[in-house]
Chains A and B, each alone.
Chain A
Amino acid sequence: MKVFDLNYFIDILPLVLKGLSAAMKMTALSFLGGLILGVLIALIYNSKIKVLYPLAQLYVSIFRGTPVIAQMFFIYFGLPHFITPLRGMGAFAAASMTIALNISSYMSETIRSSISAVEKGQFEAGLSVGMTNFQVARRIILPQAGRIALPSLSNNLIMTLKGTAVAFTIGVTEVMGKAKIEASNSYRYFECYAAAMLVYWLVVVVITLFQGKWEKHLNRAYQN
């Protein structure tokens, strides 16, 4: 038996790629959901609202402090045992939701720190010109904070993608799932998992390329 069968590797690569559609869908949903939640939590942190602030702290602590696979098992296998209405939740929805909750805890830190990094003076300057709070936030603070947040958010996006890799344990057949199913039939584990590695790596390389381009675009005002 060959150590690495290149022909077999090339044959199963498209099969493993089929899992990418589920992985990308979950990543998109989770990232968007996580972003919205992250902004919400960042706002709660900044404004220090009475009851919500400690709750937000607890939330971030739990979701940053536990592995995403444990969270998935808890939400998909644990809770539905006692909370019967949750049994109707599909694995895809459960996985997307869990990854969103998980990544939002990291993103809230990213967003919070990026907003703090913008000079306080910017906000006052905007108000002094006659803008409303909302207009300052949207047109002055956000673009600057966004530029600062981009590398970290890009990191969070990559984390989200990697989080989807454990979704097969609760039944979503994504990249790793396809690889495992294929390997269980052929017993050629090396080629199957090498194909999975290649798929993830290529996606992240593309994300990084876009991140670079976007960073350059955002930094154009700061050149020389």
Chain B
Amino acid sequence: MICKIRSSLFTAVIMAFMLMSVGSALAAEVPSETLLVRIGAKEDGQPYIFKENGEVKGFEADLWKEIAKRANLKLEYKYNSISGLFGLLDNGEIDTITHFLGITPQRKKKYDFSDSYGSGALQFMTKKGTPEVTSIEGLYGKKVGVALGSAAAGVIKTFDPDEKIKVVPYEEFRHIPQDVDMGRIYAYFGNPITMMGDIRKMGIDCKIDPLVLLATPVGYPYVRGNENSQRIMDRVNPVLEELRKDGTISKISMEWFGLDITSFSGMK
């Protein structure tokens, strides 16, 4: 009789433990232990990340504030140029870099990346009132401005190998939005975040057309095989998914960029 009670008690306790563990896995519980994350950033990387009056600001800064809150992280920022930051990452002086870095095959050879939290894209900026750019064919015979040496300059060549589009290379990319506004060229092909910033700052009468020629997912790089980094990313990844699902990333993106970086998917 006592054996029976003991065994059922034992079963009950086991089941209680199982329920508890399942419960804690399901709940979005903030982990109890604070992890330190040393983040590399640019001081002048507006609008992605920058330092103003000693405070770190920008899209990435706001996103990491949220991640830190939900994953119980303490953030420590170190500032340098992009190439400098990769050097610090290699040396183990920082755990990751936050600068809207594209998860490219070249980078993947050397680093692992967190799950992506959005995409960088290449789009067309045209003057308000002109019809939307909906295809490459629609641009044949028209002038499209690109910054000399930019990714956009290379990409448009792959989509238009016979050079049917009149690609106008600009030495100074700051001249391109004005020329679209003045009607000298039909479109500006480039990074919509930069272009949106130009529209706001220059007050020009232009729009960004929805066609996306190339979308590269962005993520946070970390050193492969590094246990500490892996621990950090194991916490960060589910939080990123959460933030994407509940629209937080979209909100921060709209605030800093004027567009939603989680909405891009490129043309093939």
The residues of A with any CB-CB pair to B shorter than 8 Å are 77, 80-81, 87, 168-169, 171, 173, 180-181, 184
A-B contact pairs, 16 of them (CB 8 A): A77-B175, A77-B178, A81-B178, A81-B182, A87-B182, A87-B183, A169-B171, A169-B172, A171-B168, A171-B170, A173-B169, A180-B148, A181-B169, A184-B148, A184-B149, A184-B169
**Residue in B closest to A88 when the chains form the complex, CB atoms:** B183
Interchain CB contact under 8 A, A184 and B172: no
How far, in angstroms, from A99 to B99 measured CA to CA in the complex? Answer: 43
- The 8 A CB mask of B96-129 against A (1 = contact, 0 = none) is 0000000000000000000000000000000000
Which residue of chain B is the closest to A183 with respect to CB atoms?
B149
Chain B's nearest CB lies how many Å from the CB of A27? Answer: 21
Which partner residue on chain A sits nearest B167 by CB separation?
A: A181
Q: Which residues of B are at the interface with A, using a C-beta cutoff of 8 A?
A: 148-149, 153, 168-172, 175, 178, 182-184
- A101 to nearest B CB, angstroms? 21
For A173, list chain B residues within 8 Å (CB).
169
Q: A77-B175, A171-B168, A171-B170 are in contact. Are A181 and B182 (CB under 8 A)?
A: no
CB distance from B52 to the nearest CB of A (A): 30
B182 neighbours in A (Cβ, 8 Å): 80-81, 87
Partner of B171, one of A80, A87, A180: A180
Q: Which of B168, B172, B184 has the most CB of A within 10 A?
A: B184
**Chain A residues whose CB sits within 8 angstroms of the CB of B170 once the complex forms:** 171
CA distance in complex: A87, B127 (Å): 15
Q: How far is it, in angstroms, between the C-alpha of A87 and the C-alpha of B169 when the chains are bound?
A: 19
Q: Which chain B residues lie closer than 8 Å to A168 at the CB level?
A: 171
Report whether B148 and A181 are in contact in the complex, using a CB–CB cutoff of 8 Å: yes
For the complex formed, measure the closest distance between the CB of B120 and the CB atoms of chain A, giving whole angstroms.
Answer: 20
